Amino acid sequence: MLPDGGWRAGLPLAAWRAVTTLGAPLLPFWLAGRARRGKEDPARLRERRGEGAARPPGPLLWLHGASVGESQSALPLVEALARVRPDLHFLLTTGTRTAAQVLAERLPPGLAPRVQHRFVPLDVPAHAARFLDGWRPDAAVLIESEIWPNLIGAAAARGVPIALVNARLSARSARGWGRLPAVARRLFGAFALVAAQTEEDAARLRALGAADARAWGNLKFSARPLPAPEPELAAMRAAIGARPVLLAASTHPGEDAQVAKAHGRLRARLPGLLTVIAPRHPERGPALARELAEAGGIALRSAGEMPGPGTAIYLADTIGELGLHYRLAGAALIGGSLVPHGGQNPLEAARLGCPVLLGPHTQNFTAIADRMVEAGAALRVDGPEALAEAAGSVLTEPDRARSMTEAAARIAADAGALPERMAGAIEALLPASPHQGDGARPAA
């Protein structure tokens, strides 16, 4: 049951249930529009109504992460739980097609038979009920900031223990929830476990009703190194040869032009420079090719093109290939940090030995970004001129690049134990294994 929040919580939550119920007949049209734009899988729209359950026998843990980053965070946690509980099956839900594709590509083959993926149902009471009654999870884990009142309320009403892990809550979001304090207490108080990324996140969550919120760190820092198929890696290395490579990874609108300007400045110092731009949203590739045409020598990976001798800027507008590009680059700007987006995960590059450059906007990863800069594992840049200067120094000074990657590797290694710690806390929410107490443990 949800914690009692009195009528001050009950009325807004009842209003939300009414609005979502009344609006439900319009949602198929909205989903169809998203499907036409490629944002939904047309063959799987029924999952957004909570349909398609195929519950396996035995204990089942439901984990939900909205998009690529959150779902990737779930993988080391699932692996840790699978080692501890050999009888446990997993339902992973996401809200985006990209996240579903990345999960399919990165799920370890030995774990795949125990994992099913579905798209999360929309937060409509009937959809939530159909989903939960079909799957009957023994516990639920929401990742980061997925607070859906109808889903949470329906799970609590069915006695499903819910954890919120890798939780983050910005000051702006906390102020928003603070305008409905009774609702916040009722929703955040429903979690049996709250593990936040930072102490600031934990403090905001405690103030909103998650009394036992703890700061445990960020699961994104525990992820396995991003993969890169050897044939593609060998082909790219052959195409690039000895050219120095600057990567702009997961860029957002407003950053690509700055990277192109930095490329132009660097070409005088490094005539053979190849700049690779990997947009956060790959569908931007063709538009970027037109936008950056003046830079000359544009090639698109989505079109099957390889970087040739005349390629100045290579647009890596594909999904799930950052592991490939980090392995090829001599320095990487982490996207979302030159514009006020908040930055992407800098440890993805660090784990693959790629020196890291960060813009001024890293609030999504404040603690780790500041730690990397302080330890000499990353350099700050604030625009095209600073980016060209920093990238040039890293690309031409091997000793500096080596010291940065060594410092970054030490920071990345520190985050390795979090999935096991979190798995232990989540396991306590599940029914006891029939093998518990006999000393049996699966091989690691």
Our answer to whether residue 70 is catalytic in this structure is yes
Q: What are the DSSP calls for 174-188, one per residue?
A: HHHHHTSHHHHHHHH
Query: Which residue among the candidates 40, 47, 51, 70 is catalytic per the annotation?
Result: 70
Identify the CA nearest to 147 among candidates 202, 60, 39, 66. Answer: 66
State CA 278 to chain mean position distance.
16
State the DSSP code for 44.
G
Residue 370, exposed/middle/buried by CB under 10 A (0-12, 13-18, 19+)?
Answer: middle
Quick one: which of 150, 161, 164 has its CA closest to 1? 161
**Opening angle at CA 192, ends 201 and 218, nearest 5:** 35
Which residue type is seen at 84? V
Backbone angles phi, psi at 183, to 5 degrees: -65, -45
Contact, 31 vs 45, CB < 8 A? yes
Coil, strand or helix at 52? coil
From the CB of residue 413, how many other CB atoms can be counted at a distance below 10 Å? 12
What is the Cα 113 distance to its own chain's centre? 23
Distance between CA atoms of residues 273 and 287, nearest Å: 23
Catalytic positions, please? 70
